[in-house]
Structure 1
């Protein structure tokens, strides 16, 4: 598994380097940047409460890659804190400042069409990051998100083991306004609809731990403490709240899964409180987005960077789609530790020292 993660990252990095260098002669192509700020990349990320990844990984990794590719370029960054109206204001500000390339991880990806279209008319190229924004985006960088859901569903079935076929489960999905959430859900259903006895309760947790906690409380009220045997959670932030709520009701050792490979989720996996998470290697995703953004700043053709074409509002856009990985107690050492996402010292604090030792992490 370690070899798979490291090689996958290296292959993506090599492809991006070749794409960036190989297109250098296309500066006069139809993708040439129009007049404006050709030294600044706008970066708009969606929130920082449900998932720590954006501030801890995406932002610094993108900034570092942009600087490596273009030493005199800068990144103008804003986080919307989960508010779509705030993000719209941030987007409009970047456009008014003359920024010509914006990396956008939309709070409400279904509501961006009008502003992305307006920006395009002003010569601004928008790259959809992590989730596919609606409107005429110039590129899309993410993971195979339906595959993420399939891996989540299969990991939950595996955690249930021989009891899966007789198990009722609860599903707490992501925000309906996020197209990624829909893909996670669809992928999970592909496995769970036949892999378990019944999905007894299913609701959106809106990517908010407080909402997820409320929904799992409602599930317990509706089904009873013994009415379900596992919980699918679309991400780690909600999984943490769900596990806390279950324990408060005296429900322990129930399989609960998540996504994002957050450090606290890795610790919960090592202690057995969480069954699994999904590791989506942030560096190749951030590197890919930064490479496309800098290429667009320089007026280069980005189709060579793409691994696929994705349908966005009827238009096929160049897309870089990466492969996610399931993380369980058995492979923490060979995935997020071996890949350098975390050092052993990040995970193995005093409270988790014994769990780390048991998993062979020193």
Structure 2
């Protein structure tokens, strides 16, 4: 953390004494300056601003609630705001948090390049910033990053697709009865303004590369570059429209579509809606293509249980929230949080110290083990999709 030093002249001795406190004072050297914090401060005297991108995704609602509840359990006051996927709204919310004197910010950004001025303001008031699951780019004032191993999430997405297509077993080994004819797939990627989307895409496409190179997998539309297949704001509606367009332009002559690489459950549901609307399905057993996913949203977990969506990636938001709270507590107590990655996440200005968590592939067969037995969902939620 930054160290503020207050030099006090001692008239009688003519000596200058330097008093140092880790993050203990505001930029003006005043103990009660906005954003000031101290290793000796009681948590009940400290406020943490938590900025989440949207409430349109149940994943972000769960993240926000998990971070808030765990911080409050430690005695902190929490200002939790959701921005409805609107960049100006999130910028204004963070500006307001800084003006009101929060002691630390935890930010899951909508656009990882749009918060430079807010981070400058936070730095001026010695307010540490933790990037939550989405890296904030183009700023030196990101102290820490908590996330999942996003490249590996992409690997898992592609792996689940390969399992569904019959090339791999669920344990990742080669299937003995793998398809002998080429399998047709289409590719979707996440939002181009989300730093994680590139990691997901790279992990997935590099996993699929050997199959694409030797012709075991084919993309009939030819759309495989990130800019073409990206889905702005991870929009379910945009994904549905693009899938409908692909079906019309590429598959109207009776070509078979075997699978779709989807990086997010909302996108997956949009794709599935388009497929079912065009007469595919309605289930995997009845000819619906294999569709991957991510975030283990309850609506998609229920579809997996029903044999409609094939798989998703479970990123336990409780663990991510816990890591964010651990990092926040370290900063506010005058320490540096533990990082397990100091090489991967370059935001264009600095390598941001990071803590990476692991994720799991959810198939129909392991829903109970991963999601119900762990208390993440109840059986009733899986049954109803709510």
The interval holding the TM-score normalised by the smaller chain is 0.7 to 0.9
Between 195-204 and 272-281, the greater mean CA deviation after superposition: 195-204
**Contact 1:42–1:75, Cα closer than 8 Å, also in 2:** yes
Task: Provide runs of 4+ in structure 1 moved above 6 Å.
Answer: none
Provide the C-alpha distance between the structure 1 equivalents of 2:95 and 2:205, rounded to a whole number of angstroms: 38
Deviation at 1:320, TM superposition (A): 1.2
Check the 8 A contact 2:265/2:297 in 1, yes or no.
yes
Larger-gyration structure (1/2): 2
Consecutive unaligned residues in structure 1, runs of 5 or more: 1-27, 353-362
Q: Deviations over 1:202-224 (max 9, x none)?
A: 42222011100111011111211
* 3-state SS, counterpart of residue 188 of structure 2: strand
> Residue 93 and residue 165 in structure 1: after superposition, are their counterparts in 2 closer, same or farther (change >3 A)?
farther
- Measure the CA separation in 1 of the matches of 2:330 and 2:335: 7
Q: How many equivalent residue pairs?
A: 318
> Hey, what does 2:240 align to over in structure 1?
213
Paired with 1:195 and 1:33, the residues of 2 have a C-alpha distance of: 57
Q: CA deviation at 1:159?
A: 0.4
Q: CA offsets, 1:201-247, max 9 Å, x none?
A: 34222201110011101111121152532111110011111101100
Aligned to 2:182: 166
Indicate the SS of the match to 1:75: strand
> Which of 135, 139, 152 is matched with 1:147 structurally?
152
SS across alignment from 2:109 = coil
Query: Do residues 308 (structure 1) and 333 (structure 2) align?
Result: no
Give SS of 1:41's match: strand
* Equivalent position of 2:250 in the other structure: 223
Deviation at 1:31, TM superposition (A): 4.6
Instruction: For 1:31 and 1:150, locate their aligned partners in 2 and report how far apart those are by CA, in whole Å.
Output: 40
Tell me if structure 2 keeps the 8 A contact 1:65–1:291: no
CA shift in 2, pair 1:82/1:40, >3 Å = same
Report the structure, 1 or 2, having the larger helix content. 1
C-alpha RMSD of the superposition: 2.0
- Structure 2 segments unaligned to the other structure (5+ residues): 1-19, 27-32, 38-45, 167-177, 282-287
Q: Larger relative CO (CA 8 A, sep 6+): 1 or 2?
A: 1
Q: Tell me which moved more, 190-199 or 335-344.
A: 190-199
Normalising to structure 1: TM-score of the pair? 0.83
Does 108-117 or 245-254 show the bigger shift? 108-117
